[in-house]
Amino acid sequence: MKARPLRLTLRQLSVFAAVAQHGTTVGAADELALSQSAVSGALADLEQALGGALFDRFGRRLVINETGRMLFPRVLSLLEQAHELERLPLTSGVQLRVAASNTIGSYILPALLAGFRNVQSGPCALDMRIGNTRETLQALLKFEADIGLVEGHCQGNELVSTHWGDDEMLVVVSPSHALARTSPGSPGAAALRDADWVVREPGSGTREIIEERLAPQFGPLRFALELGNAEAIKRAVMSGFGVSCLSWHVVGDEIARGTLVALREGLPPLVRPLHLVLHKDKYLTHGLRAFTDYLQQNRPKPLG
For residues 93 and 38, the answer to whether their CB atoms sit within 8 Å is no
pTM of the entire predicted model: 0.71
Q: Give yes or no: residues 66 and 111 share one domain.
A: no
Domain that includes residue 31, residue range:
10-87
Q: Give yes or no: residues 225 and 296 share one domain.
A: yes
Q: Which of 65, 87, 109 is the last residue of a domain?
A: 87
Q: Give yes or no: residues 179 and 294 share one domain.
A: yes
DSSP β-bridge partners for residue 99: 129, 148
**pLDDT band, residue 256 (cuts 50/70/90):** very high
Q: Give yes or no: residues 277 and 244 share one domain.
A: yes
**CATH number, domain containing residue 177:** 3.40.190.290
Q: Give yes or no: residues 25 and 112 share one domain.
A: no
Provide the number of structural domains found in the chain. Answer: 2
Q: Give yes or no: residues 283 and 136 share one domain.
A: yes
Q: Give yes or no: residues 192 and 76 share one domain.
A: no
pLDDT digits (tens, 9 = 90+) for 19-72: 999 999 999 999 999 999 999 999 999 999 888 999 998 888 899 999 999 899
Q: Give yes or no: residues 28 and 114 share one domain.
A: no
Domain for residue 4, yes or no?
A: no
**CATH number, domain containing residue 67:** 1.10.10.10
What is the model's pLDDT at position 145?
A: 94
* Mean local confidence (pLDDT), 251-260: 95
**pLDDT band, residue 118 (cuts 50/70/90):** very high
What is the sign, positive or negative, of the torsion defined by CA atoms of 109, 111, 114, 119? Answer: negative
Q: Give yes or no: residues 194 and 280 share one domain.
A: yes
How high is the mean pLDDT of the chain? 88
Q: Who contacts 142 (Cβ-Cβ below 8 Å, separation ≥6)?
A: none
